[in-house]
Structure 1
Amino acid sequence: MSNLICTVRSAAGSLIGRRQPGEMALVLHTFDGNKNAFKALIAAEYSGVKVELAKNFQMGVSNKTPEYLKMNPIGKVPVLETPDGPVFESNAIARYVTRSKADNPLYGSSLIEYAHIEQWIDFSATEVDANIGKWLYPRLGFAPYVAVSEEAAIAALKRSLGALNTHLASNTYLVGHSVTLADIVMTCNLYMGFACIMTRIFTSEFPHVERYFWTMVNQPNFKKVMNDVKQADSVPPVQKKAAPPKEQKPKEAKKEAPKEAPKPKAVEKPEEEEEAPKPKPKNPLDLLPPSKMILDEWKRLYSNTKTNFREVAIKGFWDMYDPEGYSLWFCDYKYNDENTVSFVTMNKVGGFLQRMDLCRKYAFGKMLVIGSEPPFKVKGLWLFRGPEIPKFVMDEVYDMELYEWTKVDISDEAQKERVSAMIEDLEPFEGEALLDAKCFKRQPGEMALVLHTFDGNKNAFKALIAAEYSGVKVELAKNFQMGVSNKTPEYLKMNPIGKVPVLETPDGPVFESNAIARYVTRSKADNPLYGSSLIEYAHIEQWIDFSATEVDANIGKWLYPRLGFAPYVAVSEEAAIAALKRSLGALNTHLASNTYLVGHSVTLADIVMTCNLYMGFACIMTRIFTSEFPHVERYFWTMVNQPNFKKVMNDVKQADSVPPVQKKAAPPKEQKPKEAKKEAPKEAPKPKAVEKPEEEEEAPKPKPKNPLDLLPPSKMILDEWKRLYSNTKTNFREVAIKGFWDMYDPEGYSLWFCDYKYNDENTVSFVTMNKVGGFLQRMDLCRKYAFGKMLVIGSEPPFKVKGLWLFRGPEIPKFVMDEVYDMELYEWTKVDISDEAQKERVSAMIEDLEPFEGEALLDAKCFK
């Protein structure tokens, strides 16, 4: 694997630093049988990287502790502890483990192989894993079950598996000729489907996917982690739900009070204010006399000649060659006795070619790995502009000194024939088999990449903004028409399911928008968009994946049904909004102390996150909604007003209302499925629950009532108090406080003071305020039964956090104590309302009276 791709150098300036994960054990926090943890564990087996499992991990307990939530703010599993800090998001963890080994063959040996590995990883996540989850999770009771949504998920999964089946019909592996990280991730994602819901009847439609899956899970490194895998013999029945989801009209969004869009709060100095850069000094090779040989013409001839290579390409080369303007050189590796492992030798050559990127404009090269058994020989041929090897190449590419260089004498027919044989990959070469042949000829930054997309596509923005930062030329396909261009046979050869965008590269197409953006970014050697260390790379990948799975996915689940692209179900929308708020809350906390997601400048993570947030801000996330996440707001408006973003996205305006649910042309019809074709096997196929109409399901049992709903009625109506609190703008003490005590029912409710136990930690104001905000978000589960005030007190650190809570019932509800881990971080004291001093303290906290107990109020938050 090349240094450009890995960003991990095995020599000449390691980016890993003094610590190597392969030497210091990594610790993976996960539960048994977690397919998302399998990814990292299998990658570790292939890479020889030591990964230990955290001891005594208990799902639902361990991942809710404060320590765990510091590693992953939303409590998802797994998390990897590394010497440089935690990494979450399973694919990012697997990438980190893979990158921990320099030149790891799991990441291929060229830029296009790297891009295709990333493409299939992303396809696996968005098209396979996501649709398996949409089919399986509602049946297990983890999401609302809606028959029409299940039908859509199965149809989408079949489309994706069909595309995968077509690819695997002519490929043993997803990319190249050996297992890569793409195979590991794809197999682990397929595992849940095969093991839990995709029966033999279902998968028999995709025989190449079946062959591939069973081949992979029986590889020793897979089997060591996954053990024996058995296929599901039936589709799991729908778990009885508490209450069926109802089709209902959404509540009308509240009208916005602000009349103008928020002004961007840019933190960074705009680039356009910087001093204009001085012109770059010309390369000495550009000052040479013109040559009759046009290097790009030779490269095009080489690339486009598919038959009669000797007669067309080789003859054309000698016709073009100009010994006055160019020179030819043989190179022989000095240390062939070290080349005892084939793929390591090939990766070594791949790394050399990547480091030669700096002279792509002035050179053409062929590198051969020769021999059928070790030690393997490495030989090469290079065409350079000018009479000598360029000095900047000798100075900057450390590999050059690892080779013996001999100038070709073209008057010697034997040497001339050797040149022709090396260009042609003639085998046997000098009496020996060719193990591998690599060509150094093309650079995406110099030969335009073509992006097929429609105007305003936020997924295309990712690659276009990355191109602006990287100085890579990307052209837009002309006359692209969504729904037409992406359904042509030519387009479907590039992306078998017709998704947009697709990038055409000199080495073939790349689909999946994040993979395209990665390819564009990697096209520039040592691109700062990918950070400068292994842990920065891992965190960039972590936030890219978080952006896809936690932000973009939930915005889509909220927006698309309202636009008519998916069935609208109110309970599903509520779940999507809750999940989105949880994700934005975690992002907001991170951005409270960070201008960028990773490091101190824009990275690819910022580009992808901003493009995914764009759809939310522009289409559905109003100012009222986003005001809960002020740091996300600041971040988004800062990003979209950076020159490289603005050049692509133009001016961005925030949605002023939530779009109404579109009337569908025709409501989805429940109809009986066609009879399944009779299978050759004699056993009857299990019923396909997909087509079973909802009305035929067993009637769900009523949801058990919350114990608080069984308490005797109270004279205090909580919602009335909340309305009084919210609507009192003047004379608060006379109106709201008096009203509270008039309403308060000590038989039906109880009042509690809370004091944070660890105030000495509260040294940063905004971190303290965000801590309180996170606590209030986690209290959502008791919103129906509680009212609260939380105060951050003090004008200088450490800040004190105190609160007042009104709960239904005589005690703090047990389900709150059990499920909100923050509760144990506070001392709780029941208010004695017969004590006038305590009663006055309650009034002062409700009123946000300042000073409070002799100190300034830094912040006051209300839970209502």
Structure 2
Amino acid sequence: MALVLHAQTTNKNAYKALIAAKYSDVNVKLVENFEMGVSNKTPEFLKMNPLGKVPVLETPDGPIFESNAIARYVTRQKENNPLYGCTLIEYAQIEQWIDFTSLEVDPHIAHWFYPRFVGYAIYHPQAEEAAIAGLKRALGALNTHLASNTFLVGHAVTLADVIMTCNLYVGFSHIMTKTFTSEFPHVERYFWTMVNQPNVNTVLGEVKQTESVIPISSAKKAAPAKAKPKSEPKKEQPKPKVEDAAEEEEAPKPKPKNPLDLLPPSKMILDEWKRLYSNTKTNFREVAIKGFWDMYDPEGYSLWFCDYKYNDENTVSFVTLNKVGGFLQRMDLARKYAFGKMLVIGSEGPYKVKGLWLFRGQEIPQFIIDECYDMELYEWTKVDLSDEAQKERVNQMIEDQEPFEGEVLHAGSTNKNAYKALIAAKYSDVNVKLVENFEMGVSNKTPEFLKMNPMGKVPVLETPDGCIFESNAIARYVTRQKENNPLYGCSLIEYAQIEQWIDFASLEVDTYISRWFYPRVGYTIYLPPPAEEAAIAGLKRALGALNTHLSSNTFLVGHAVTLADIIMTCNLYPGFCNVITKNFSSEFPHVERYFWTMVNQPNVSTVLGEVKQAESVVPISSAKKAVPAKVSAKAKPKSEPKKEQPKVEEPAEEEEAPKPKPKNPLDLLPPSKMILDEWKRLYSNTKTNFREVAIKGFWDMYDPEGYSLWFCDYKYNDENTVSFVTLNKVGGFLQRMDLARKYAFGKMLVIGSEGPYKVKGLWLFRGQEIPQFIIDECYDMELYEWTKVDLSDEAQKERVNQMIEDQEPFEGEALLDAKCFK
């Protein structure tokens, strides 16, 4: 059911909901022939909003007024809607900018525009000047924020941008001329970026900036003040002299001492440490770090780590550096009592900000918390000096050690399993350092290495929390270092699909490449040709399945690189370089395209370097060929072939006769008056008057005791952005439902004129529940929400009719396609 919006077609507050609906794939219909001043004064409208204000959204659960509330409601119709951000902090920032635009931008535009426009409010010059000044302050703050941000929050349009744009729209169209807005160039750039977003443009249409401020209407000008008598100025009294007032003031009270000055004296002289730090240019560990611990007084001072809470925001280097610089400036009030180191970490955004602070006393001084608002932007952790790892971290931060806090990967520089973690680290902005001078067969046999992995296998990742082996586990660990890492997808189903393809890459692709490649280079015994042939056949089956999937997908899951792609690429890499020639890979063109796409991704190519496909299969090494079976010294008699006497038929004679195939439980149900094949024939043969013939015939035949009707809705419509992929997905589902042809009839609709497309269906099943064998055999079933049709509900019954008939528009939207299972 469409949500109905009561407002005129030019109402900027209605635009908020309409644009949010476009982004959210929600059906919102603007009521027809709405006339402001008439439609909003009817008893029906006043029941929805007693104030008579527009817009009002009519929903199945009741009406909603207030335009921002309506826009929020529409946005929430879509689960995990990116219009509301991806994290708690993004959600809070979106709400912050919604409030800013509603309390700072919109009111000042309204107080400037409405008094000028046909007398919506009384016009007064001083009030207008105040409105313009207030708007300039608001746009100045907005301009500063947009100097380093394309959108208000994050890197994509959110609900805050939708509402801000609708509020600015009135200003740009009527009063904010080019001369006025040129003071705010980033706001200008932002506004034109937003109004040219497709989902915004389809609602607003062409937007033109006003060339002049709209003239003042004569309807409601403020009445001029009455003239006062000439004697009026006598009321002005001479101002008292400043000196007189000063004489009456009390003498200033002495400034109270800082509580830190009242602490017992400390053996650590802070200024001495600061001088040592500043003057040490060489041998920093031996001089400055040693000197620090010699001076340090744990009774008089405390050490604290700080971690910036919102590192995801730190996408632009100079903005991040300015942020840290501003913090240090505001900490100037603590110069007498503190020493600090702030590190900005990362080669590219988002950058991490971490710090180490030495404070007088055992707690962070309260006056710093009160005066420096930045303090609450960081997580503060007191250093535990009994923990050697924390003490070493203090040393590293004082020293500016680089790399800082990187995990160490033990493997050779050409190890394809090490590449998984190194590439994942590039995508995740995690510092992973490959250990130097690692020699396979030597380094991995040392007692130190075997403590990390008793198997002696590589790679092993050494972390502050312990060691990790198994290359896929290491890659997962590195990926998880970044919160909400897109390498792990954006939804539960994407996460599951990524794990699915990681397993496929490991168990199907890597296994068969290894069985083909490693015996040839002497890593394992080269067995007779049938073993290699079996490996090649297995690899072809795996690449065939992968090729089919990639025929309609650029990447394995979604529309961007994920951890599954990294692991798949690293597993394909030795194959393409050593055994998979062009002649071999040409059978799998989509795999070829995918592999070369992946190895040319910047984060991949920086690790792998230049990749060249093998021109021929690597030759067989003589090192570990299988030894042929020895022939017995004594010659066997010629009668030996008699051992071949047993034939296949003989064991078959001993087998039991095959048991009859068990009947399908649906065949054991009581007979039904509905003959399914008769309905299918009627459906197929009805070409005209479909309602009168086929629909009527369906209900005449339908047996509610022997059959049941079910609606299904695809759970992950957000993925359906490409039309042919969506149609193939539905076609594949219907193919896999072939096992139910004797017991079912179905209609599947693909809805929408552009992606993401919605997939909905109607199914008629034998029995009162969805047959269990279909649920067990057809994995697509769990991808849909299933709802049994309630035939006592006329609306649901009519929906059944519409789906059988392929009615268009269906539920307010065009049909891309309708498929029938019969």
Given the two structures, how large is their TM-score scaled by the length of structure 2?
0.33
RCO higher in structure (CA 8 A, sep ≥6): 1
TM-score scaled by length of structure 1: 0.32
The structure with the largest alpha-carbon Rg is 2
